[in-house]
C-alpha cells in the first residue's frame, strides 16, 4: 500500500491499524470472517474501473467482453455449488437482495411473514424500523417461550391466520437448523412463496454440513461473506420460472451497475468453497461451535436453546449479572470481539440487551480448533467475572495477541510472527 501511504497517510494509517486489530484479536462476530489474499487482490483489481448496467450479453455500455465472462463464471459456479436453477450475483449486499425479492413479487401493503427481529430474525424480514416493515404488512412469528426453539405448529397457525404472499425462513441469531421441508409445506397451504435467507449459513450449506434450502424454496438469498468467506456482496438463487422477475427487480428495479470487482471476487470465493479444504473448514466451524457451547454451559452460562447446531450461539447473561453491552465492551478490551444481542423475550432495551452473540467462522479461518475453543471459553468466563478490571483486561488482551500470533489470519499472514508465553 505504498501508493496509499504517499497519497493519503491518514487513510493508510487507519488501514494499518485495522489490519493490526484484525490480526491481534479473536473476532467472534458471527457475520464476519477473513477472506483469502486472492479475494482481497481481486476486490482491489482494475475491475473496479468498469461500469456494466444490465446482464451478460445485454449491457447498456460497450467494453463488456471481459466482464460478461466474469459474471457468467460467478453465476455458473453458484449454480454448480448450490444446485440452483438460476442465480443473480449482482446485489450489492444482503439487504438489497431481500428488498429485490419483495419488489419482484409484492405490492405495497402485501403481507409477509418472517421471524421476529428480537427472536433472531433480520431487519429486512419485516422489522418496523426497516423498509420491509414500513412498505408491507409485516407479520412475525416468535420462538417458543419455554424451549427457545421454533414451533412449526405455531408458525403454521400464524401463516393460516395472516395468509402471507411470502413466508420467510432464515435468521441472524438462531443457533439451530431450520426445517425447510416443514416451511415448504406451510407455505403451500396458503399458496405463499417460500423465501429462505441463508446469509448466515451459506458456507455451511456449501461445505455439506447444513441442509440446503435450495430444493425447497422458491427463492434463496444470501450474502457472500459470513460463513461463505467471500467479499461483501450477495446473491439471489431461484427457480427458473422466477428468473426474469428476480433479474428485473435487481436491475433496473433497485440498483444500477453491479460492482464488477465484487462479482469477480464472488467467483473466486465460490471456487474456494467448492474445494475439499473448504468442506473440512465447514466441519471445523461446527466442531468449534459445539465445543465452545458445551464448555460455556459447563461454566454456568445460559445458552439459548441449550447449544448450537450451526456456527453461532446466543448467550443469555442474566444469571451473570451483567448486560450484553457491558460484557461486549469488556470482552473487546480483552481482545475478544463479539456483539451484544437481544435474546427472545428480552426485558432489556435493544441497545443494551441481555445477551451476546458468538460465532466461530472467523477464528476457524485462522486455524483455531477444539483446544483453542476451550481457551476462548476460559477467557470469556474470566472477563465476564471481572469486567471492570482494566489491568486484567489489558493483560488478557496481550495473552490473546500472543495466541493469535500463532494462528495467522488469511490475508494478514505477513503480520504474524509466532510467539509463545
Q: What pLDDT was estimated at residue 394?
A: 98
Average pLDDT over residues 80-104: 98
- Is residue 252 reached through a cis peptide bond, with omega within 30 degrees of 0 on the bond before it? yes
- Do 270 and 136 contact (CB within 8 A), yes or no? no
Q: Which pLDDT tens digit goes with each residue over 14-54? A: 999 999 999 999 999 999 999 999 999 999 999 999 999 99
Q: What pLDDT was estimated at residue 173?
A: 95
Active site residue 216: no
Check pLDDT > 90 for residue 415.
Answer: no
Q: What pLDDT was estimated at residue 416?
A: 67
Q: What pLDDT was estimated at residue 196?
A: 98
Active site residue 232: yes
Q: What pLDDT was estimated at residue 420?
A: 61
Q: Which fold has domain 284-415?
A: 3.90.1150
Phi/psi of residue 87, each to 5°?
-140, 135
Share of the chain above pLDDT 70, in %: 99
Average pLDDT over residues 259-287: 98
Average pLDDT over residues 360-380: 98
Alpha-carbon distances of 290 from 51, 147, 286, 406, rounded to whole Å: 44, 18, 6, 23
Task: Indicate the SS3 state at residue 267.
Answer: helix
Q: Which of 42, 223, 224, 308 is catalytic?
A: 223
Domain map (residue ranges) of the chain:
40-273, 284-415
Task: Indicate the SS3 state at residue 360.
Answer: coil
Check pLDDT > 70 for residue 273.
Answer: yes
Check pLDDT > 80 for residue 307.
Answer: yes
Active site residue 224: no
Residue 406: pLDDT band by 50, 70, 90 thresholds? very high
Active site residue 163: no
Check pLDDT > 90 for residue 381.
Answer: yes
Q: Which of 50, 165, 226, 229 is catalytic?
A: 226
Active site residue 398: no
Average pLDDT, the chain: 96
Active site residue 51: yes
CA 386 to chain centre: 30
Q: Which of 12, 16, 19, 51 is catalytic?
A: 51
SS3 string, the chain, reads CHHHHHHCHHHHHHHHHHHHHHHHCEECCCCCCCCCHHHHHHHCCHHHHCCCCEECCEECCCCCHHHHHHHHHHHHHHHHHHCCCEEECCCCCHHHHHHHHHHHHCCCCCEEEEECHHHCCCHHHCCCCCHHHHCCEEEEECECCCCCCECHHHHHHHHHHHCCCEEEEECCCCCCCCCHHHHHHHHHHHCCEEEEECCCCHHHHHCCCCCCCCCCCCEEEEECCHHHCCCCCEEEEECHHHHHHHHHHHHHHHCCCCCHHHHHHHHHHHHHHCCHHHHHHHHHHHHHHHHHHHHHHHCCCEEHHHCCCCCEEEEECHHHCCCHHHHHHHHHHCCEECEEECCCCCCCCCCCCCEEEEECHHHHHCCCCHHHHHHHHHHHHHHHHCCCCHHHHHHHHHHHHHHHHCCCCCCCHHHCCCCCC
Which one of 3.40.980.10, 3.90.1170.50, 3.30.420.40, 3.40.640.10 gives the CATH number of domain 40-273?
3.40.640.10
Q: What pLDDT was estimated at residue 350?
A: 87
Q: Which of 156, 232, 239, 283 is catalytic?
A: 232
Q: Which pLDDT tens digit goes with each residue over 159-216? A: 999 999 999 999 999 999 999 999 999 999 999 999 999 999 999 999 999 999 999 9
Average pLDDT over residues 237-257: 98
Q: Which of 19, 53, 144, 332 is catalytic?
A: 53
Residue 94: pLDDT band by 50, 70, 90 thresholds? very high
Residue 414: pLDDT band by 50, 70, 90 thresholds? confident
pTM of the model: 0.95
Please tell me the number of Cα atoms within 13 Å of 81 on its side-chain side: 30
Average pLDDT over residues 71-89: 98
Q: What pLDDT was estimated at residue 421?
A: 54
Q: What pLDDT was estimated at residue 200?
A: 97
Amino acid at each position: 500500500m505504498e501508493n496509499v501511504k504517499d497519497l493519503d497517510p491518514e487513510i493508510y494509517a487507519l488501514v494499518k491499524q485495522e489490519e493490526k486489530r484484525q490480526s491481534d484479536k479473536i473476532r467472534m462476530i458471527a457475520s464476519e470472517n477473513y477472506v483469502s489474499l486472492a479475494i482481497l487482490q481481486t476486490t482491489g483489481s482494475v475491475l473496479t474501473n468498469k461500469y456494466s448496467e444490465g446482464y451478460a450479453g445485454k449491457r447498456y455500455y460497450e467494453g463488456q467482453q471481459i466482464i460478461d465472462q466474469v459474471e457468467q463464471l460467478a453465476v455458473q459456479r453458484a449454480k454448480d455449488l448450490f444446485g440452483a436453477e438460476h442465480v443473480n450475483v449482482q446485489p450489492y449486499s444482503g439487504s438489497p437482495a431481500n428488498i429485490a425479492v419483495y419488489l419482484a413479487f409484492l405490492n405495497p401493503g402485501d403481507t409477509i411473514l418472517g421471524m421476529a427481529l428480537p427472536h433472531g430474525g433480520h431487519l429486512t424480514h419485516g422489522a418496523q424500523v426497516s423498509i420491509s416493515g414500513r412498505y408491507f404488512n409485516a407479520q412475525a412469528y416468535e420462538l417458543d417461550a419455554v424451549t427457545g426453539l421454533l414451533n412449526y405448529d405455531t408458525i403454521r397457525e400464524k401463516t393460516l391466520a395472516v395468509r402471507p404472499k411470502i413466508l420467510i425462513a432464515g435468521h441472524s441469531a438462531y443457533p439451530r437448523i431450520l426445517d425447510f421441508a416443514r416451511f415448504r409445506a406451510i407455505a403451500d397451504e396458503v399458496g405463499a412463496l417460500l423465501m429462505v435467507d441463508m446469509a448466515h449459513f451459506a458456507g455451511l450449506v456449501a461445505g455439506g454440513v447444513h441442509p440446503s434450502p435450495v430444493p425447497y424454496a422458491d427463492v434463496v438469498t444470501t450474502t457472500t461473506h459470513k460463513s461463505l468467506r467471500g467479499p461483501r456482496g450477495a446473491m439471489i438463487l431461484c427457480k427458473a420460472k422466477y428468473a426474469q422477475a428476480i433479474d428485473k427487480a435487481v436491475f433496473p428495479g433497485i440498483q444500477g451497475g453491479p460492482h464488477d470487482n465484487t462479482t469477480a471476487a464472488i467467483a473466486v470465493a465460490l471456487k474456494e468453497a467448492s474445494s475439499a479444504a473448504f468442506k473440512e473448514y465447514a466441519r471445523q466451524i461446527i466442531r468449534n461451535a459445539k465445543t465452545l457451547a458445551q464448555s460455556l454451559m459447563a461454566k454456568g452460562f445460559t445458552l439459548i436453546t441449550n447449544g448450537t447446531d450451526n456456527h453461532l450461539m446466543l448467550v443469555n447473561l442474566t444469571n451473570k449479572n451483567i448486560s450484553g453491552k457491558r460484557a461486549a465492551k469488556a470482552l473487546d478490551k480483552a481482545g475478544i470481539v463479539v456483539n451484544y444481542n437481544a435474546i427472545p423475550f428480552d426485558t432489556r432495551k435493544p441497545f443494551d440487551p441481555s445477551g451476546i452473540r458468538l460465532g466461530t467462522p472467523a477464528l476457524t479461518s485462522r486455524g483455531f480448533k477444539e483446544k483453542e475453543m476451550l481457551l476462548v471459553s476460559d477467557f470469556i468466563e474470566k472477563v465476564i467475572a471481572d469486567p471492570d478490571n482494566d489491568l486484567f483486561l489489558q493483560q488478557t488482551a496481550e495473552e490473546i495477541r500472543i495466541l493469535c500470533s500463532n494462528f495467522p489470519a488469511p490475508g494478514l499472514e505477513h503480520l504474524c510472527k509466532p510467539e509463545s508465553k
